[in-house]
Amino acid sequence: MPTAQPLRTGDPQRLGEYELSGRLGEGGQGTVFLGSRGGEAYAVKLLHGPVGDERAAFLREVELAKHVARFCTAQVIDAGFDEGRAYIVSEYVDGPSLHREVALTGPRRGGALERLAVSTATALAAIHRAGIVHRDFKPQNVLLGSDGPRVIDFGLARALDAAATVSGRGVGTPAYMAPEQITASAVAGAADVFSWGATMCFAANATAPFGQDSVAPVLHRILTAPPELGRLDGRLRTLVEACLDKDARNRPTSRDLLFELLGESAALPAEVLDSPPAHILRATPPLVPEQRSTSPEPRAPIAQPEATGTPGGYRLSGTREGGPPSGPSPVGPSTYGNAPLTSRRGWPRAVIAVCAALIVTAAVLLTALIPAMNQSQEVQPSRAAGPTVPPQSDPGKSRPSADRSSPPRSERTQERKPTSDPPVAHPVTVPVPPLTGLDRSAAAKALKQAGLVLGTVTQLDSPQKIGQVLGAEPAPGTAVARGSRVSLQVSAGLPVPAVTGLQLKAAEARLTGAGLAVGTVTRSCSDQPDGQVLATQPKAGSRAAGGTPVALTVARNGVTVPSVVGRSQEDGRAALAAAGFTVRSKGQVVDDESRVGTILSQTVQPGTCAEPGSAVVIVVGLAAQSGPDPNEPSETPTGQIPGE
């Protein structure tokens, strides 16, 4: 937040229990002061207009705001009234607004933009959860504190409604208002989601998606034009585009928006479902004594010691090396044979360990035996004759040893496999990312990040923006092997039809029938029939997005009248005659000798169209008469000038 400026004449020195020491800013809603109470700094916002009879509603709104979660928002502390004007006290955030920071340092990129999106969406979800609609979410209401972004002014919705009625001020900022706010429809949380999307566009591009010029054009574009998303790309671009949908019913809720940003809706990769997790496959089976190896890579246990309660390992008490539990053991009261209290307390843990061992064993057997079952059928006859025993050079290795250094069964099974038949490898699959709505370059980038390759790109006639992705094959969400090619269908826009030579009405009908709009109509003098289309912009045959206005130049039958004012009588008459007009002259006495013989005015305005042969009257300056008495009335000549 900017450094506080001194208080001005007429500013209050105190509001309630808060001593005011300076101004932090002023906007359309009110003035923000730096206040203090008990040595703590606060932001105190005094609204411009009174709330009238809505005091109770205002206070209820403030109570709701106090219950908004404090993460990512500036907490509302207190509220009150000063001579009928309401004020709200909130947490002081020492940092600039997003609007000011982008103006000074430029747009956000990469991780900084994603962190901003997640933080503000989190704040919006918290505000909506408290039953509040912000109604004025914009870059000026996002403060960049030292501990992250904070959303402010979320407790003013009801107060601003009342103040707007009394003072005539509107609620909301035009460049970030949702369509339903403009049309005075019912406003709900979806309006804040729209404003969030517009704010993210500003953060990424330093400009609002519908422009920031005069109010009327901005509101018109919000209601009718597609947003300009600029440098937004990837998943965030898709989300922002969904948030800026004209129909509030099509926008995500703030909660869904947050989940999408966090990736909660992403599908689990297929390779995770194809086999047990790696730490399970590496786990030491509970029925095998703990292997206290000095290797720097100890095996991961199935559970942590705090969960089992067995310090030092997960071996069942009373087990022999490599075997099941035996009878009484001289180890002590924790053995199976003697059944003291400690043993009775430990047997449920042993049952759990045995169950876990069975699950692990089944997983290992599946990973080892399923590839063997897929081997070719030639191996089966040799197995029917009897089990195949591999050559053994050492009799001591012909039988598995009970020593714990013997390899697991899965390893022995793999040793018996022929080296020419490796295990079947499951291909790594990835889901096709969401691509619809992205432009072609952004879609190619998303495919590359997902480990896929851009395939054939087919251009289709579509009213969507040129280059926007309409669909993909395989469809988004489909699991495919990593490195697969994904074909795209992109919009080629709509062709501008040829309307040159048509009358205006027919040309307008053809343009609207082609999915385009009629733009500016300019009249131009021509020898062509009146109302005939002479040219279009964009030109016929070019392509444009649906709804693009096409400017028309229409013929106006006639000849352009040249400008002759200020020229000599001879030059002016010659120019008009050359254009095909009939010239008539009138004289007017002038005091300035330099204007004598100069054309002072013409009856038909220059640049307009007039029929060839029509008359144009010019007024020429005449010198005052010097012969008669000045007091004698004289008649200004109005006839033709001698020499005509």
Enumerate the active-site residues.
Answer: 136
Asked whether the beta carbons of 315 and 289 are under 8 A apart, the reply is yes
**From residue 83, how far is each of 49, 127, 198, 561 by CA, in Å?**
11, 29, 36, 67
- Residue 594 is given by DSSP the state G
- Residue 263 is given by DSSP the state T
Asked whether the beta carbons of 75 and 40 are under 8 A apart, the reply is no
State the sign of the Cα–Cα–Cα–Cα dihedral 36, 50, 62, 188: negative
With a CB cutoff of 8 Å and minimum separation 6, the contacts of 40 are none
Q: Which helix (DSSP H) or strand (DSSP E) does residue 163 occupy?
A: helix 157-167
**Packing angle of the helix pair 55-66, 157-167 (nearest 10 deg):** 150
Token output for 175 = 């460049």
Report the alpha-carbon distance of residue 552 to residue 556 in Å, rounded. 13
Q: Which amino acid is at 301?
A: P
Residue spans of alpha helices (H) in 24-143: 55-66, 98-105, 110-129
Reduce the secondary structure of 213-240 to three states and give it as a string.
CCHHHHHHHHHHCCCCCCCCCHHHHHHH
Report the alpha-carbon distance of residue 254 to residue 319 in Å, rounded. 57
State the sign of the Cα–Cα–Cα–Cα dihedral 599, 600, 604, 607: positive
Block residue for tokens 């103006």: 103
Asked whether the beta carbons of 471 and 489 are under 8 A apart, the reply is yes
Report the alpha-carbon distance of residue 453 to residue 318 in Å, rounded. 58
Report the alpha-carbon distance of residue 364 to residue 392 in Å, rounded. 26
Report the alpha-carbon distance of residue 234 to residue 596 in Å, rounded. 74
Cross-strand bridge partners of residue 454? 486
Q: Could you tell me whether strands 582-590 and 615-623 are parallel, antiparallel, or unpaired per DSSP bridges?
A: parallel
Token output for 486 = 């994904």
Q: Which amino acid is at 520?
A: T
Peptide bond before residue 549 is cis, with ω within 30 degrees of 0: no
Cβ of 533: how many Cβ atoms within 10 Å?
Answer: 22
